[in-house]
Amino acid sequence: KTHVKIYSTGKYIPPHRVSNHDLTSWMDTSDEWIVKRTGIRSRYLSRGDNTSDLCVKAAHDVLEGSHIDADEIGLIIVATMSPDGQSPSVASKVQSAIQAGQAMAFDMNAACSGFVYALSTAEKILRHAPYSYALVLGGEVMSKEIDWTDRKTAVLFGDGAAGVLIGKTDESDQFISEDLHANGDKGEALTSGNRQVDNPLVQSDKSVSYLTMDGREIFNFVTRSIPDSIQKVIEAGGTDIEDIDYFLLHQANARIIEIVARKLKRPVETFPMNIQNYGNTSAASLPILLDELAKEKKVLNGKKQKIILSAFGGGLTWGTLLLEI
C-alpha cells in the first residue's frame, strides 16, 4: 500500500491589515460587536492581487520549505470559492507560474470546507498515480465576493492563501481516517456568485450576486455536526479523544470553536485559533493555521502528533480528517 505524508506547508497573506476600527469608517459597526460575536480583531484585504496571485506566492512558500523541484509535482488542486474567473482555473495559473510542467491542475469548490475536500481528494489520487507529489492550496479573495454595504457579512471575511505539499513516503501513513459530507437541502444558507441564464432565448439580469449568509442557520448546523464528525474520525481511526494533540477547526467564529471544544469536553487550548488576526478566509483558513503552527514547530515537528482538521461551510459542506503528522 502506498503511504502518503505532508512534506511542507506555506502561506501568503496580502499585506494590508484592516482593523475593526477601520471598518467603522465604512459601515455602522463596532469593535465591541465584532469581537464579542466572532473573536475577529482584524483581517487582511487584497489591494489588487487576485486569488491566483495569492496562491502563486503561497505555492512558492510551500516549495521553498520542501526538497523537490516544481516539475516533480503531478497534481495541483486549488480549493477556492473566489477564483479569478471560470477559466483558466486558479490551479492552471499556479501551474504556469511555478513551472510545474508535469502537473495536472484544477480548482475545487466546497466553500469553506474546500481545503479539507481538496486534501482528501489529492491524497486518494496520489495513491493511484504514477507521480509522487501533489500541491494542495486554499486561496481566497473573499473581499471581492462581499457586499460592502451588508455589515452582517462584510465584517467576517478576509483574504489569503496557503497550502501543503503532500507526497508518497516509505514512512508510516499520515492520513488515518476521514468523514466528509454535504447537505444541499440547506444550500441557500450561504450563496455567492450566482448568475442567471442569459442568452438569445431569455434575457435576464446579467449581474453576478454577492455573498449572502444565514449566520444563525450555519451556526446551528456547525455546532451540531462538527462534534459528531470529529468523534466519528476518532473512532474510525481507532484512537481516543484524549490522544488528540490539536483540533484545527475552520476559523469562522471563535464562539463556534469554543462551543465545539466544550461539547467534546476538551480544553480550548487544544483548539488553536488565529481568527482574531485574519477573519474567515474560507478555504485558506485551515492551511494558514497549519502553516503558522508548523513554523512555530508546534506541528509537523517529527513528534507524530494526532491532529484533527475540520471544516464547514457553504453547500452546506463539512469534512474532518484525522492525521498523524
**What are the catalytic residues?**
112, 250, 280
If one asks whether residue 190 binds ligand ACO (CB under 6 A), the answer comes out as yes
Size of the site for ligand ACO (CB under 6 A): 23
Minimum Å distance from CB 78 to ligand ACO? 16
CA distances from 182 to 79, 225, 318 (A): 16, 11, 6
CB nearer ligand ACO, residue 82 or residue 92: 82
Find the distance separating the first CA and the last CA of the chain, reported in whole Å: 18
Stretch that binds ligand ACO, among 29-37, 85-93, 270-278, 288-296 (CB under 6 A): 29-37
46: left (phi over 0), alpha (psi -120 to 50) or beta: beta
If one asks whether residue 151 binds ligand ACO (CB under 6 A), the answer comes out as yes
For ligand ACO, the binding residues in 254-293 under the rule CB under 6 A are 256, 280, 282
Do 10 and 129 contact (CB within 8 A), yes or no?
A: no
Residue of the chain from 54, 94, 155, 293 that contacts ligand ACO (CB under 6 A):
155
If one asks whether residue 139 binds ligand ACO (CB under 6 A), the answer comes out as no
CB-closest chain residue to ligand ACO: 313
Minimum Å distance from CB 229 to ligand ACO? 15
CB nearer ligand ACO, residue 10 or residue 158: 158
Minimum Å distance from CB 297 to ligand ACO? 29
Helix and strand numbers (H, E) in the chain are 10, 13
Phi, psi of 127 (to 5 degrees): -60, -25
Distance of alpha carbon 18 from alpha carbon 11, whole angstroms: 19
Query: Collapsing DSSP states into helix, strand and coil, what is residue 77?
Result: strand
Phi, psi of 252 (to 5 degrees): -105, -30
**Cell numbers of 109, please?**
469548490
CB nearer ligand ACO, residue 33 or residue 131: 33
If one asks whether residue 65 binds ligand ACO (CB under 6 A), the answer comes out as no
If one asks whether residue 111 binds ligand ACO (CB under 6 A), the answer comes out as yes
Minimum Å distance from CB 212 to ligand ACO? 11
If one asks whether residue 33 binds ligand ACO (CB under 6 A), the answer comes out as yes
Per residue, what are the HEC states of 6-34? Answer: EEEEEEECCCCEEEHHHHCCCCCCCHHHH
Do 26 and 191 contact (CB within 8 A), yes or no?
A: no
Minimum Å distance from CB 14 to ligand ACO? 18
DSSP letter assigned to residue 193: S
- Nearest one of 275, 232, 269, 228 to 250, comparing CA atoms: 275
Residues lying near ligand ACO in the complex (CB under 6 A): 29, 33-34, 37-38, 111-112, 151-152, 155, 190, 215-216, 218-219, 222, 252-253, 256, 280, 282, 313-314
